[in-house]
Structure formats: structure tokens, C-alpha cells
Amino acid sequence: MKNLKQAIVNAINRFIIIQKKEGYWVFDLEADTTITSEYIILQRFLGKEIDPDLKNRLSRYICSKQLPDGGWPIYEKSAANVSASVKAYFALKLIGDSPELSHMAKARKLILSLGGAANVNVFTRITLALFGQIPWHTAPAMPVEIMFLPKWFFFNINKVSYWSRTVIVPLLILYAKRPICLLRPEEGVTELFLEPPDNLFHLDHCIPGHFSRNLFILLDRILKRIERLIPQAVRKKGIRLAQSWILDHMQCKGGLGAIFPAMANAVMALKVLGYPDNHPDMVRGIKAINDLLVSPTATRLSASRVFRRSGIPA
């Protein structure tokens, strides 16, 4: 009990010491390398060139976080994560790192030892599908008709957290439209798969005794069969509802959800819907992302940090 009281006193004293004179506290939010990787990947999807100086700093940051075994973690002192590692490898290839470089060869070996890119999470699957690295049908079913579900239904878009909504709603449009950003042969990551990715159908498989997992997989299979029967008029209306939701929620300063994944998904969704770069909503969305940039000299903590609030260092 004495140790607990002392720990509480120490914590309080620490907060008092770092409090700003105006009364508030400021902390840097630094994520794992997936956000840095996603920024690079987003620019490629939008067809935008990254400033050479920024490109070099982004590359150095990703490489600085690579583990000795070749992978990348999702939190400090954790083991390599296959999804984070695939995104980092992909991002580095997009900005010109040769797969023959030692850090790339080491990353590739580690990813393959973890089962390859077929074992990545849902969001990374969607990323790979967006660039034609895996077929779209390997991603979990995300029918845009979810937007029609009423509040009384056991699931609807309002029953998930706001953070989740801001990420999911743009993804509904991307899944409905299923765009593919074509890459040059040297930009692809087919070497990260243990078997040709075009041969993949479902990336999940049922495991005996895992009821909830198996139920989700079964639901996914059913939705994929049903959605092809949905009339195009219904689908278009669902897309319009999702589009309106996005536009309504990205009008304020700070971007959709004030988080990078939602902002990036929203901009990609608008691009897929045909919005030109100079459209006010696209300009606003891209500006919200660029507003996350911080000059490397603007923070005392790290001369190499480019992003602060978003957790995208370089």
C-alpha cells in the first residue's frame, strides 16, 4: 500500500513538472511505422510525387525502426508484425529501394518466415488489393449497403465507435468500386507471397473450436455470394449515402476524424468517385493531411521528426 501511494505521488509530481504555464499538457503522439508507410502509399495512389528531401527522411525513419531480424513491430519492444512489415517493405519499394538491398532482403526473408503477405490483417489486405497485388475478393466483404441498416438492427454504422466509422465509411466506397492503382513491375510485392497471389481466393480459413472466428468467415462467404445479386441502383444509392456522410464529416478543420487513416481513406474514396484534385472537398481533405506535417526543426524532441500529431515521423 505504501508503494502504491508513493507511485501516485510520483506520478502527480511528474505531471506538475511538465505542465505548461497556461495550464495544459502537450505530448508527442508517435505511432508505429504503418502510418509512415501509409503516407507514402497514399501519395502513390493519388499520383503525387513526394519531395526528395521528405522522401529521404521518411525512408530513413522506416529503416531506423527495422528490427535486427528484418521486420517491423507495432509497439515498442514487440516482435515483428507481418502487416507492419509488409507495409514498410511496400512503401520502401515505392520510393525506390531495390529489393536487392540488404535491409530489403532481410525484411523479405522475415515476412516469408511469418507465412508471407497472405497473412496480413484486413487493412493491409485492402491496401494490397488497391494496388492489384491481391484480388479484391480476398478482402473481407464490406458491402456499402451497410449504410441502409436501421438503428434497431443488431448491427449498423452507428453502433461502432466514431473512430471506426470514420475509417469504415470511406472503405465501403472503395470496396464497392474496387479500384486498382496500376504499378510498374518493379514496384510490386509479389515476392512476399509463398504462392502466386492471383491463385488466392479466401485468405481466411476455419479453425476447429474457434466459433466466433468461424462464424465471421461464414458470414463473409455468404455476403460475397449475396452482394453480386444486389441491383446496381441500390448499390449506387448506398455509395451516395456513404459519400454524403464523408462530406458532412470532413468540413471542419482537422480532417475526417482527426486521424490519418480516416483522412487517407476519405481522400482515396473521393478520388475514386471522380473528384478532381482542385475540387474544394479534395483540396480540404489533402490539406488536412498536409497540415499534419511538422518541420524537422519545429520540435525539440527529434530533428528527424516530420509528423507529430499524426504519429508519422521521418
| Rounded alpha-carbon distances, angstroms, from residue 31 to 2, 18, 309 | 35, 22, 10
Task: Please report the pLDDT score of residue 306 as a whole number.
Answer: 40
Q: What is the DSSP letter of 50?
A: P
Residue 15, domain member (yes or no): no
Residue 65, domain member (yes or no): yes
Q: Which domain holds residue 112?
A: 29-290
Task: Please report the pLDDT score of residue 213 as a whole number.
Answer: 62
Residue 310, domain member (yes or no): no
**Cell numbers at 299, concatenated:** 520540435
Task: Please report the pLDDT score of residue 89 as a whole number.
Answer: 98
Q: Compute how many other C-beta atoms are within 10 angstroms of the C-beta atom of residue 244.
A: 12
Task: Please report the pLDDT score of residue 314 as a whole number.
Answer: 37
Task: Please report the pLDDT score of residue 209 as a whole number.
Answer: 58
Residue 299, domain member (yes or no): no
Residue 124, domain member (yes or no): yes
Task: Please report the pLDDT score of residue 297 as a whole number.
Answer: 42
Residue 148, domain member (yes or no): yes
Task: Please report the pLDDT score of residue 203 as a whole number.
Answer: 55
Q: Which residues of the chain have pLDDT under 70?
A: 28-29, 202-216, 294-314
Q: In sequence order, what are the residues at sequence separation of 6 or more whose Cβ sits closer than 8 angstroms to the Cβ of residue 60?
A: 304, 314
User: Is residue 143 within 8 Å of 241, Cβ to Cβ?
Assistant: no
Closest of 290, 293, 288 to residue 250, by C-alpha? 288
Number of domains in the chain: 1
Residue 309, domain member (yes or no): no
Task: Please report the pLDDT score of residue 157 as a whole number.
Answer: 87
Task: Please report the pLDDT score of residue 313 as a whole number.
Answer: 40
Q: What is the DSSP letter of 158?
A: G
Residue 99, domain member (yes or no): yes
Task: State the burial class of residue 285 (Cβ atoms within 10 Å of its Cβ: 0-12, 13-18, 19+).
Answer: buried
DSSP letter string, 170-184: HHHHHHHH-------
The model carries a pTM of 0.83
Task: Please report the pLDDT score of residue 225 as a whole number.
Answer: 80
Q: Where are the alpha helices (DSSP H) in 29-178?
A: 33-46, 52-64, 82-94, 102-113, 122-130, 162-177
- CATH of residue 280's domain is 1.50.10.20
Rounded-to-integer distance, Cα 245 and Cα 295, Å: 33
Closest of 127, 130, 129 to residue 138, by C-alpha? 129
